[in-house]
Structure 1
Amino acid sequence: MHPYQNPALPIEDRVSDLLSRLTLAEKAGLMFHTMIAVNPDGTIADGNPMIPSASSLLRDKLINHVNILTFAPVPPERLAAWHNRIQEIAAGVGHGIPVTVSSDPRHGVIDNPAASAAAGGFSAWPEPIGLGATKDPSLVRGFADIVRQEYLATGIRVALHPMADLATEPRWARINGTLGSDADTVSALIREYVLGLQGDALGPDSVAAMVKHFPGAGPQKDGEDAHFAYGREQVYPGGMWDYHLKPFEAAFEAGAAQVMPYYGMPVDTEHEEVGFGFNAGVIEGLLRQRYGFDGVICTDWGLVSDAVIMGTDMPARAWGVEHLDRHARVLRILEAGADQLGGEHCPELIIDLVADGRLPESRVDVSARRILRDKFRLGLFDDRRFVDPAAAARIAGQPAFRSAGLTAQRDSIVVLTDRPVLAAVPGSGIAAPVLPLAEGISVYLDGVDPVIAAGYAKVVDDPASADVAIVRRAAPYDPRGVGFEAFFHAGRLEWTDEELAPVLELTATLPTVVDVWLDRPAVLTPFAGRAAALTGSFGSSDEALLDVLFGRAPSRGTLPFELPSSMAAVEASREDVPNDSADPLFPYGHGLPLS
């Protein structure tokens, strides 16, 4: 037994021993964190043209940090079996360094490959912005603890979340992944999120939180996203740079193990105008020195190499340093203070840099030590290397977890208006609020599953035969491009006349309840005075919504951001200032309680 294999020794001693034995190639392999595909049956996927083969990553490139991509639902027990298969491969390579498996969020009702996966066999919860609508730290702590248990059972040991970004720019496409616009509220939720994943200290029963996107990706110029060259600029016209750091400070206080900087480049600040992953002033100056963060820093995906993603040509997000070649980009990232390159699988570039004398191997050792430390703390070298597929089937998606997720979906729904309507009490001649709806009434549906609704009311096909209509719509946006870019809902927050017409026609015919999935703020002005009731949801199933509408569950949610009254008000607001539009239709925190 080598010292690094002895669980009785202190972790730092084990790290030092293993580090002294590794080849440069093994150290370089540690410093890449890339995508890997999983077949629905739990076998290793080696034939996907977008994703390198597992054999190539693990055996040839000696990479052992992988972000799982599932192109179809994978049952938890099969995900666990897949995890064991790749660990078996890794055990026979070099010094047998175990694989660390990571995942983007995968506990939502909504499936968006650009940000998160639908729950599948895991418990289903509202999107993060829905957790923000609850404003309940204990609920978020419970959510994160259930995520921890389900991830741990299937072998996922790094959560590529939470997002500590603030939803200060209403047009930004990634608001759905945030916890809201108010820094103090988000800070309280982020703290519990990290503690729920990791516990009081990172250990064998933890899932490491990779908090993103430092130093706060919310203030995107004109709301465009930094995945794309047209959205690379982050701006601070309100001078609120420090405001966006508050949730990260809460994450650090909670002991967050890892951090991911964003793609964006700061404009007109004291910092160099280069992407945050290349930015020494932000990573080394702020993160390492000001905050004393000595955990793993992993860049966002694809800062070095051009790629094709979902049929879309994606140039490397090397904003501000596009002129550099791949070797120079890697060197710039490491000199800035990062440890891992996300979404890349080119350790040969680090080997070249060392061989050419441009990068001292001692700098590689600094990052390799941090990375190995987390593997040891997570117990991957010991009894946490393999998982039990039968236990994964029993733990993930168990009834208690699903029930907790459904309760959170209900708690996140916000009742925005509930107008007195004469027809709300049929035949009485009395006007009353339409909510809660009476069970057994006749309902006309648009965007709601009639099979689910049949458990609450009589579903009819003709609005003329209905007492009430229930309509669900997603917030509007400008379609952008194809492939990967199409998943980013950006641009306008208003519906077109053509999009509004069928809903407004219903509101003129009978009392209509309109629910809007608010993955971003939307301009609800056309509905506010016409819908009998107006609700906002944040990744809730039809069942969760109907439970609230029919009074089976109380309405507790309040808005996690303000809802503007017009696009003109949005365009006049400042990207870095929370809830900054003039005369909002509904202010931050608005919500009508129903019991």
Structure 2
Amino acid sequence: MQQPHLEVRSKQLIDVDGLRFKDLNGNGELDPYEDWRLTPAERAADLVARMDLDELVGMMLINTRFTGFIAPEGAETSHDGALDERTIEAGTSIFATRKVFGTTETIERLKLRHFILRDPVSATQLATWNNAMNEVAESTRLGIPTLAASNSRNENGEPIFGMNDAVGAFSTFPATLGIAAAILGDLAVGGDASLASEFAAVVRQEWLAAGIRKGYLYMADVVTDPRWQRIYGTFGEDPALIADIIGRLVAGLQGERLDGTSVATTIKHFPGGGARENGFDPHYAEGKWNCYPTPGSFEAYHLPPFRAATATSSFMPYYSAPSIAKSVVQAVDGVEIPYEEVGFAFNRYVLHDLLRGQLGFTGYVNSDSGITDNMCWGVEDLSIPERFAKTINAGTDLVADTNNVADLRAAVDHGWITRARLEEACSRLLIEMFALGLFDEHTYVDAAAADGLIAASPGWELAAATHRKSVVALKNSGGTLPLPAGTTVYVEVFHRSPERAELKTTQARAAASEHAGLRLVERPEDADAVVLFADPQSGNYFSSTPGLLELTLCEDKQLTSTGGETYAETTLLGADRFRGLARDARARGQKVVLSVNLAMPWILDDVEPLADALVAGFSTFFDAQFDVLTGASAPHGRLPITLPASEAVIAVDEQGRCASPNDVPGFAKQQYMPEGSTYAYRDADGNDYVLGHGLTW
């Protein structure tokens, strides 16, 4: 084997057989875990045998870790401002229920080595931060390095904790639904899903430059309930398409096998979070259940993308628990699923028997955040040490967003978790770290070069092309589009937030004014065409709405809560003005072009009739949309989700049963609808807004 380049900052290098190795434990000898000639499994086996209980416990927790670069003014930092050394009191978020200690103390005393990176900082700052953490880790007893995982950073969207933590520092694509829309367009013209492979290649290249070696990438969940707020982070509702995309992403990010050029993936949320109960999400108690009321839905619709991803380094199970009362018997490969009504991270059948036994997965299981404190569905009555024992013995190897070493150690001290199980979990975790080269030549990266490498990435050009390809033309009455050269346009963006509406309107008008084929006017009555962008928002990521999540474009709509009380809901501030602008323009004989951002499958039954042309975007840049509206780019995208026809087709009765099944994707719901009811929306021109719909001209 070829001698790797090794860098140490506190330990020494030793020479053996004419080769150099890191003396990570400082004993002056070459121990097996320090020997880069051995396999990752051999090195991991040696290291876990040397680790004490506290080191094993610390290795099995992953916690959010902030950089020092955006710490509040006057906050304690170290390593020239890279490391955040603050102590943060408990209760700062639904995950941070424990006191958070400074970075150095967390590495040295708590012995954590896995961290979740959320800060929106530059690539050079990320690399500097990673280097500083590893410098601290190198100085500890065994010199075990750190590994930071990040949620996606290469898709456009509004920053949301745990979903879109950082946007814009890396090449920026449309939302994942937009990537799926572009790929469906490729398939429609005889192509394939190679865009997913190209996307993975640039993400890998950019993240390597910044020293990010682990990604919570991507959601393999199949959309089956239209009210689920996390739809925008998925690749839509087609299990076969998602399986193709996810398989390509795992291969593209990791390579044929994990090595020093890989970004290791964590695919989420096994065994599929899309089977919501009327849209409620398990970040809160109202959404704790996964429901499977339709025979065969688990295997036919939810499992295929995860089957395609078994080469991933790790899987993340969802918070939700399977409901017996709200499901029928489901089976996988002829084996019936024995429902245990506990969250999937506590569910031994799902993690051990199904994932490892039937699907053949050999990596590690990384829980979702906060399962031992808040989102502990089905085990709420257990003590926190008992919850640790339940999830780890079920098959979880890494417990997320906690630094609670005390309660995990208590579970060990009570005899509820054996040392053998700790060593098994830590071996799986360490195999990944050894394979990635974190103990050897890839502990540190060239931070100074990172920003330049990102700026020169081919990802920017690919992203721009993908934005254009993602636009879906839903309706084009009378050949309204493309807009002729020289068309005067009035442009406005509507949002739930007035500040974001103003900002996005400024951005959209700038994009229109810079487009050679358009002339921007200030008043709608002076325009040839009124172009309105709707960017609706519904609900809150971390708490349930009083009633069902709203999918219409509305302002102060009076609704009834689950408790029978009246409340008001707004998904689009100025919704009445939005409709009024469209009506007035039509009355004046102007063309009306509407664009709706499909973060969710919005109900458009009282919006579409107002439009001469209607397009869909997916956090798609405004300049790309104007390219399509003017014909500079041909419309290419296809719908990755089916849009419901009306509120009636997703109505929920007094028993909580939806008119269309929650566990079946939109393209297949029609076969389960009551006679005379049609699930998918049909517009005034006869277009059905189903999976794969998209016009061209």
Equivalent residue letter for 1:519: A
State the AA in 2 paired with 1:418: N
CA shift, 1:197, in A, is 0.7
Aligned match of 1:406? 464
2:567 aligned residue:
none
| CA deviation after TM superposition for structure 1 residue 258, in Å | 0.5
CA offsets, 1:433-460, max 9 Å, x none?
1211223321101114222211122211
Note the aligned Cα RMSD (angstroms). 1.9
Q: Could you tell me which of 115, 121, 138 is aligned with 1:74?
A: 121
Distance in 2 of aligned mates of 1:357 and 1:583: 54
1:128: which partner in 2?
176
- 2:464, 2:381 → 1: CA distance? 49
Give the equivalent residue in structure 2 for 1:468: 529
Aligned to 1:46: 85
Closer/same/farther in 2, CA of residues 397 and 525 from structure 1, 3 Å limit: farther
Moved more, 5-14 or 236-245: 5-14
Q: Is the 8 A contact 1:416 1:536 kept in 2?
A: yes
Residue pair 1:109, 1:118 contacting (<8 A) in 2 also? no
Closer, same or farther in 2 for the Cα pair 1:497/1:79, shift >3 Å?
Answer: closer
Matched letter for residue 690 of structure 2: P
Deviation for aligned residue 1:357: 2.2
Aligned to 1:299, the other structure's residue is in SS state strand
Residues 1:501 and 2:548 are matched in the alignment? no
Contact kept, 8 Å, 1:233 with 1:266, in 2: the verdict is: yes
Aligned match of 1:530 in 610, 614, 631? 610
Post-superposition offset of 1:506: 2.2
Q: Distance in 2 between matches of 1:176 and 1:492?
A: 15
**1:444 aligned to 490, 494, 519, which one?**
490
| Gapped regions of structure 1 (runs ≥ 5) | 306-315, 421-432
Residue 184 in structure 1 maps to residue 218 in structure 2: no
Tell which structure's C-alpha radius of gyration is larger: 2
1:438 to 1:39, Cα distance in 2 relative to 1, 3 A: farther
Task: Look up the equivalent residue of 1:506 and give its one-letter code.
Answer: L
Of 24-33 and 399-408, the range deviating more from structure 2: 399-408
Q: Which residue of 1 aligns with 2:686?
A: none
2-structure distance, mates of 1:48, 1:186: 42
2:442 aligned counterpart, secondary structure: coil
Aligned AA (1:504): R
Give TM-score, length-normalised by structure 2. Answer: 0.78
- 1:237 matched to 2:293? The reply is yes
For residue 57 of structure 1, the aligned residue among 95, 106, 109 is: 106
Report the Cα offset of residue 209 of structure 1: 0.8
1:387 maps to 445
The CA distance in 1 between the partners of 2:87 and 2:235, in whole Å, is: 34
C-alpha contact (below 8 Å) 1:441/1:458 kept by paired residues: yes
- Residue 108 (structure 2) pairs with residue 33 (structure 1): no
Instruction: Letter of the 1:445 partner, please give it.
Output: V
Distance 1:488 1:213 in 2: 26
Change (3 A) 1:363 1:583: closer
Counterpart of 1:276 in structure 2 is 344
| Between 443-452 and 36-45, the greater mean CA deviation after superposition | 36-45
Cα deviations by residue, 1:361-384 (Å, 9 ceiling, x for unpaired): 111111011011000011101111
The residue aligned with 2:370 is 302
State the partner residue of 1:576: 663
The code of the aligned residue for 2:115 comes to: V
1:233·1:267 contact (CA, 8 Å) conserved in 2? Answer: yes
Secondary structure of 1:115's counterpart equals coil
Match of 2:693 among 575, 590, 594: 590
8 Å CA contact 1:476–1:494 kept in 2: the answer is no
Q: Distance in 1 between matches of 2:405 and 2:449?
A: 35
User: After TM superposition, which residue ranges in structure 1, 4 or more long, deviate above 6 angstroms?
Assistant: 486-490
Cα contact 2:202–2:458 (8 A) shared by 1:
no
AA in 1 matched with 2:577: P
CA deviations 1:247-304 (Å, max 9, x no partner) are 000111xx11100000001012531111111111111121121112121101100011
Q: 1:418-438, CA deviations, whole angstroms, 9 ceiling, x for partnerless residues? A: 111xxxxxxxxxxxx121122
Among 214, 223, 244, the alignment partner of 2:270 is 214
Contact 2:202 2:457 in 1 (8 A): no
> Which one-letter code corresponds to 2:535 in the other structure?
A
Q: 35-44 or 99-108, which moves further after superposition? A: 35-44
Instruction: Give the whole-Å Cα distance in 1 for the aligned partners of 2:405 and 2:363.
Output: 21
Contact 2:473-2:694 within 8 A present in 1 as well: yes
State the shift of 1:399 in Å: 5.4
Q: Deviations over 1:528-549 (max 9, x none)?
A: 2221111111121111111111
- Matched residue SS, 1:543: helix
Structure 1 residues 19-418: aligned runs within 5 Å:
19-40=48-69, 43-47=82-86, 49=88, 50=92, 52=100, 53-70=102-119, 73-110=120-157, 111-135=159-183, 137-239=193-295, 240-243=297-300, 244-252=302-310, 255-268=311-324, 269=327, 270-305=338-373, 316-398=374-456, 400-418=458-476
Q: Is the CA contact (8 Å cut-off) linking 1:507 and 1:532 kept in structure 2? A: no
- Cα distance in 1 between the residues matched to 2:143 and 2:628: 52
Q: In structure 1, what residue type is equivalent to 2:629?
A: L
Instruction: Work out the CA distance in 2 between the residues paired with 1:236 and 1:77.
Output: 46
Q: Which moved more, 1:396-405 or 1:463-472?
A: 396-405
Alpha-carbon distance, 1:97 to partner? 0.7
Distance of 1:497 and 1:18 partners within structure 2:
59
Tell me the SS of whatever aligns to 2:66.
strand
Partner of 2:133, secondary structure, is helix
User: What is the match of residue 426 of structure 1?
Assistant: none
| CA shift in 2, pair 1:487/1:529, >3 Å | same
What is the identity, as a one-letter code, of the residue corresponding to 2:649? A
Contact kept in structure 1, 2:156 and 2:175, CA below 8 Å:
yes
Unaligned residue ranges in structure 2 (runs of 5+): 1-29, 71-80, 184-191, 328-337, 494-504, 557-573, 652-658, 671-677, 682-688
CA distance in 2, matches of 1:554, 1:95: 58
* Distance in 1 (alpha carbons) for counterparts of 2:160 and 2:464: 20
Alignment of 1:419-568 (within 5 A): 419-420=477-478, 433-447=479-493, 448=505, 449=507, 450-456=509-515, 457-477=518-538, 479-480=539-540, 484-485=542-543, 491-496=549-554, 499-508=574-583, 509=585, 510-568=590-648
* Local SS of the residue matching 2:257: coil
SS of 1:174's partner is helix
* Alpha-carbon contact 2:223-2:274 (below 8 Å) kept: yes
- Distance in 2 separating the partners of 1:13 and 1:399: 36
Residue 18 of structure 1, CA deviation: 1.3
Percent identity of the aligned residues? 32
Q: Confirm or deny: 8 A CA contact 1:527 1:534 kept in the other structure.
A: no
Task: Tell me if structure 1 keeps the 8 A contact 2:280–2:544.
Answer: no
Q: Given the superposition, is the C-alpha separation of residues 66 and 181 from structure 1 closer, same or farther in structure 2, using an over 3 Å criterion? A: same
> Quick check: 1:4–1:17 contact (8 Å CA) kept in 2?
yes
Matched letter for residue 124 of structure 1: T
Task: Report deviation, 1:118.
Answer: 3.8
Give the superposition deviation at 1:144: 1.2
Residues 266 and 445 (structure 1), Cα distance of their counterparts in 2 relative to 1, 3 Å cut: same
Instruction: Pick which of 487-496 and 231-240 moved more.
Output: 487-496
What's the offset of the Cα at 1:486?
Answer: 8.8
Residue range with higher mean Cα deviation, 337-346 or 489-498:
489-498
Aligned to 2:370, the other structure's residue is in SS state: coil
Distance 1:48 1:146 in 2: 36
